[in-house]
Amino acid sequence: MQSRWKMRGFVFSENQAKTTDFMKTLLKLLCAAVLSSTAFQHAFAQSLVTFDDLSPGSGSGSFINIPNGYENLQWLGFGVLNGSLITPVSGYNNGIVSPNNVAFNDDQFDRSASVSSSGTFNLNSACLTSAFSDGMQIEVQGFVGTDRTYDHIYTLQETGPALINFNFDGINQATFSPVDGSSIFVMDNLKVSAAPEPGVSRMAFLGLAVSVLGKVGRMTVKNKFFLQPARRNLITNFRS
């Protein structure tokens, strides 16, 4: 004897044990697809830029320009120094998060500084400090080509760093500009991540979905699990 179930317009013509096995396998495939898609997204890992692997010199006030290509980014108007060597105590010292290097806007003629990339990246966060005065304001902008997609102003203090969560996604340039045009800011522990090109993650998930559907189709044929229209839109258990 074989049990059949009518459920919302369909008859499932197979024994209950095989049906249960089929649904369990289908659930596993769907879970695998979701986990694989999540892993794909996390493959674009976040990078923590501490500047501590650069060598700015051992003298008080010694600094170097951050070289292009550092952490796979292009740098303009940024220098790096050992903040612990600066006297008297200022935002250079107070802005240290990971000992002992900090970045700052080093161009005395143009205090705007920027980071950029030939591809897209996410500007996630950074610890920012004013070098010499409380209440300094800095404008941070994100661009895609020449289009400005993000524009925010933040207030910084000399006494300690502020963790700024930018969340600028999919940009290829970020600019940091003191609102007064002349102030110096200190930056440490910049977090950036690579951004997938538009449509990449969607195409990856679509590929996973097609793979799952293909496996489901092969299982359907193999197990001879057919759906047949039912005359009643009711749940009925009967035996034949």
pLDDT at 46: 87
Token pair belonging to 100: 């002992």
pLDDT tier, 174 (very low <50, low <70, confident <90, very high otherwise): very high
The tens digit of pLDDT for each residue in 190-201 reads: 999 998 765 544
Residue 25 scores a pLDDT above 90: no
Beta carbons within 10 angstroms of residue 236's beta carbon: 11
pLDDT at 239: 47
The mean predicted confidence, pLDDT, of the chain is 80
pLDDT at 20: 57
Domain ranges within the chain, ordered by starting residue: 3-42+199-239, 46-194
Q: Looking at this protein, which amino acid is placed at residue 23? A: M
Residue 74 scores a pLDDT above 70: yes
Q: Which residue has the higher pLDDT, 109 or 230?
A: 109
Q: Which residue has the higher pLDDT, 15 or 153?
A: 153
* pLDDT (mean) for 145-162: 98
Output the CA–CA distances (angstroms, integers) from residue 7 to 14, 29, 116, 233, 234, in the order listed. 13, 23, 57, 7, 6
Strand, helix or coil at 227? strand
The tens digit of pLDDT for each residue in 27-58 reads: 665 555 545 444 444 445 789 999 999 999 99
* pLDDT (mean) for 200-214: 51
Residue 229 scores a pLDDT above 60: no
Q: Which residue has the higher pLDDT, 197 or 140?
A: 140
Token pair belonging to 59: 């003298």
Topology classification of domain 46-194: Jelly Rolls (2.60.120)
pLDDT at 21: 63
Per DSSP, the residues of 194-237 read E-PPTTHHHHHHHHHHHHHHHHHHHHHHHHT--EEE-SSSS-EE
pLDDT at 45: 73
> CA nearest 79: which of 90, 64, 61?
64
pLDDT at 196: 74
pLDDT tier, 19 (very low <50, low <70, confident <90, very high otherwise): low
CB contact burial 26-53 (16+ within 10 A = b; e otherwise): eeebeeebeeebeebeeeeeeeebbbbe
Helix (H) or strand (E) holding 114: strand 113-130
Residue 62 scores a pLDDT above 80: yes
Residue with tokens 């501490």: 50
